[in-house]
Structure 1
Amino acid sequence: MDAGEYLETAVRDVLTAPEARLDDRIGYAALLLAVTGALEEADRLVTQWQSRTERPVTALAPDPVRARAWAMLFEARGGRPEWASGLSPLDLDAEERAHTASLRKPVSDLDGVLPPGPIAQVVQHVAPSRPDRVRTALADGDLESWASLTGPHPDVATLAATRALAPALVAGADPLGLRDWAPACAGALVAALHERYPADLGSWPDLVGHILRLRGTGALPPPASEASIRSAELRLGVELPEDHRDFLRTCDGLPADVVFPRLLGTADLRAENGVVVLADPAVLLLSAGHVVEVDPVLGTSVHSSFRAALVKHATLLAQAS
């Protein structure tokens, strides 16, 4: 499996494909992440898909094999994540018997050649058949052989639905060798979901509230008073841009999170070398009406406004959530 090519196509579909195709992409990707042992990444992707689309989780398991796959993974991990409450419980013993029979079922090179009907049924009975080597590897519990035989689009649903193998998958067997790639995959797909279904961030309380929800933290910090904003401006010797004043009127600073520094409140704003330091550490600077972001890894970028910097922050935080 070419992980880079797969992810490029998957992101494109999440951004532009019809919703049914998008759901199929997310459902496959979530199972792909799960069979690498990246269960938290799978949960993150599905949770973000639910949040953005508000569609029922059954859309990610539209057929018996995918539903069975999730059921076996839930058993192996010892419980269901919160997002899976909408999936119906299954009789795992019955599902295991049905799945084992399907893995051992012979196949023919003529399967799928003819449209369904009486002629196809006759041909199916008389055509030469053979074991399916990929499915036989799963039935034999041979993950290494399965990985070597599977094609560019591995059938991860059938893999995960194999009850005897699910514990090894959950434990990190990672037959496709994609574990290190999993966070980047989940992050890219989550970012694409947020681009396709942007949150309504029209007001400052909406934007800050969205950031706090992504962080999973508590209530909105208290706002700054007009007097404290004006006092800060007098101390700094500059008039703050109106959007930064609106931020301070919404909350007098924000603590740091996994992708952003602490945003300073009115009491901590300071001027250094002709610029206003907006964050601690000093990676956000106000200069000539623009917000300059200094990233030691990604370099320096200039935002048209303080709000633009926070919108970017919300996007990055969504990828990390």
Structure 2
Amino acid sequence: MERDDYLETAVRDVLTGDDLAVDRRIGHAALLLATAGAAGPADRLITQWQTVTGRPASALAPDAVRARGWAMLFEARGDRPQWAESLPPLDLDAEERAHQAFLTRQVSDLDGLFEGSPVAGAIGALAPGRPDPVRAALAAGDPDGWAGLVTNRPEPDVAALAATRPLARRLVEGADPLGLGPDWPQQCAGALIAALRERYPAGTRSWPDLIAAILRLRGQRPGRPATPAGIAAAEHRLGVRLPDDYRDFLTVTDGLPADVVFPRLLPAAELRTEDDVVIISAPATVLLARTGGDWHAVEVDLTFGSSAHPSFRALLERHLRLLEASA
């Protein structure tokens, strides 16, 4: 596999293919990186794909071999990333047996020749069978032999490699049978993430989508929404009607947990006023201030200077852009 050719084709598929082609390409690229010991870039790529498309992780594992491949890699690395939480758990012992049968299954030169025809089964049964040398190398636990056989293929079957349980730990630890090197996985993930952002520009997200994108990139779980009664009680206590976009935010999530560079956004019951501003974070570095009839969101930073945003939503959208840039 030529790395530059692979990446050029992958970027083109993401930019110009239909959604199924995008999912197939991102799924293959992520498995390719993961089997080279680059779990971080693989996770980052899939998280960004989820963020911009909103599609479930199951779209990247639409068949048994790919689902099995991810499951074996998760076992080998000892954790299951947040993006994969929606994937159903598998019986790994049963999957290992099924994969061994898959690797050792005899193939025929006539396989697929009469696909869809009533005679396909009969022809397949009569045709002489032989081992598939690529799968046989995996069955023998020989990733280097496998790599030698697929080196000229533009898109090696890394799912079958990942799903081979005895090899999974070696892959996670950086065996890198295809020789991708230490730097290329980051380059590949970065180029495909840039292509995804170009293919799926942010536009105007709904509030649920905006909050989900922020939490996904932070690696956090969604919280409960505020109730209409809770919002009304907060406004009564504060003596002010909160801005509409902030009220919309509360109806999706009653505050947000802190992030590395962003404070905890308070639930409605903890909001307070001070000097004609509404303090919405702890520590008190994010405020809602009204000038004339317009509300603004203000970030207070005594070191680098405070920033005013035209709305609370604008503040969160900027936060999302910073998360995307640092992912």
TM-score (ref. length: structure 1):
0.67
Give unpaired runs (5+ residues) of structure 2. Answer: 219-258, 264-280, 291-295, 308-316
| Structure 2 counterparts to residues 76-225 of structure 1, below 5 A | 76-150=76-150, 151-178=153-180, 179-200=182-203, 216-217=259-260, 218-219=262-263, 221-222=285-286
Secondary structure in 2 matching 1:185: helix
Kept in 1: contact 2:31–2:159 (CA 8 A) = yes
> Aligned partners of 1:41, 1:191: CA distance in 2, in Å?
13
Secondary structure in 2 matching 1:164: helix
Q: Which amino acid is 1:198 matched to?
A: P
> Aligned partners of 1:211, 1:118: CA distance in 2, in Å?
52
1:190-248 CA-partner distances (Å, limit 9, x unpaired) = 1111222223479xxxx9xx99996853138557999xxxxxxxxxxxxxxxxxxxx9x
Identity over aligned pairs, percent: 58
Kept in 1: contact 2:42–2:189 (CA 8 A) = yes
Q: Which amino acid is 1:180 matched to?
A: D
Q: 1:33 is matched with which residue?
A: 33
> Aligned partners of 2:136, 2:6: CA distance in 1, in Å?
25
Does 2:305 correspond to 1:265? yes
> Aligned partners of 1:119, 1:61: CA distance in 2, in Å?
31
> Aligned partners of 2:53, 2:195: CA distance in 1, in Å?
12
> Aligned partners of 1:95, 1:19: CA distance in 2, in Å?
29
1:31-79 CA-partner distances (Å, limit 9, x unpaired) = 1110000001111111111111111111110111111111111111112
> Aligned partners of 1:55, 1:192: CA distance in 2, in Å?
17
Q: 1:70 is matched with which residue?
A: 70
Name the CA shift for 1:115/1:200 in 2 (closer, same or farther; >3 Å).
closer
Deviation at 1:318? 2.9
Secondary structure in 2 matching 1:165: helix
Name the CA shift for 1:185/1:253 in 2 (closer, same or farther; >3 Å).
farther
Q: 1:21 is matched with which residue?
A: 21
Kept in 2: contact 1:194–1:315 (CA 8 A) = no
Deviation at 1:107? 1.2
Secondary structure in 1 matching 2:129: coil
| Structure 2 counterparts to residues 240-319 of structure 1, below 5 A | 250-251=298-299, 264-265=304-305, 318=324
Deviation at 1:251? 3.5
Kept in 2: contact 1:224–1:266 (CA 8 A) = no
> Aligned partners of 1:84, 1:214: CA distance in 2, in Å?
14
Name the CA shift for 1:17/1:65 in 2 (closer, same or farther; >3 Å).
same
Name the CA shift for 1:266/1:84 in 2 (closer, same or farther; >3 Å).
closer
Instruction: Provide the aligned length of Structure 1 versus Structure 2.
Output: 246
Kept in 2: contact 1:36–1:173 (CA 8 A) = yes
> Aligned partners of 1:59, 1:211: CA distance in 2, in Å?
21
> Aligned partners of 2:61, 2:111: CA distance in 1, in Å?
24
Q: 2:10 is matched with which residue?
A: 10
RMSD, matched Cα: 3.3
> Aligned partners of 2:214, 2:67: CA distance in 1, in Å?
33
Q: Which amino acid is 2:110 matched to?
A: L
Deviation at 1:101? 0.8
1:68-123 CA-partner distances (Å, limit 9, x unpaired) = 11111111111211111100011111111111011111111111111234422122
Secondary structure in 2 matching 1:198: coil
> Aligned partners of 1:314, 1:3: CA distance in 2, in Å?
31
Q: Which amino acid is 1:182 matched to?
A: P
Name the CA shift for 1:140/1:319 in 2 (closer, same or farther; >3 Å).
farther
Kept in 2: contact 1:71–1:92 (CA 8 A) = yes
Give unpaired runs (5+ residues) of structure 1. Answer: 227-246, 256-263, 268-309
TM-score (ref. length: structure 2):
0.66
Deviation at 1:7? 1.0
> Aligned partners of 1:224, 1:250: CA distance in 2, in Å?
6
Q: Which amino acid is 1:174 matched to?
A: D
Name the CA shift for 1:266/1:28 in 2 (closer, same or farther; >3 Å).
closer
Name the CA shift for 1:83/1:214 in 2 (closer, same or farther; >3 Å).
closer
Kept in 2: contact 1:106–1:132 (CA 8 A) = yes
Name the CA shift for 1:75/1:174 in 2 (closer, same or farther; >3 Å).
same
Secondary structure in 2 matching 1:131: coil
Secondary structure in 2 matching 1:89: coil
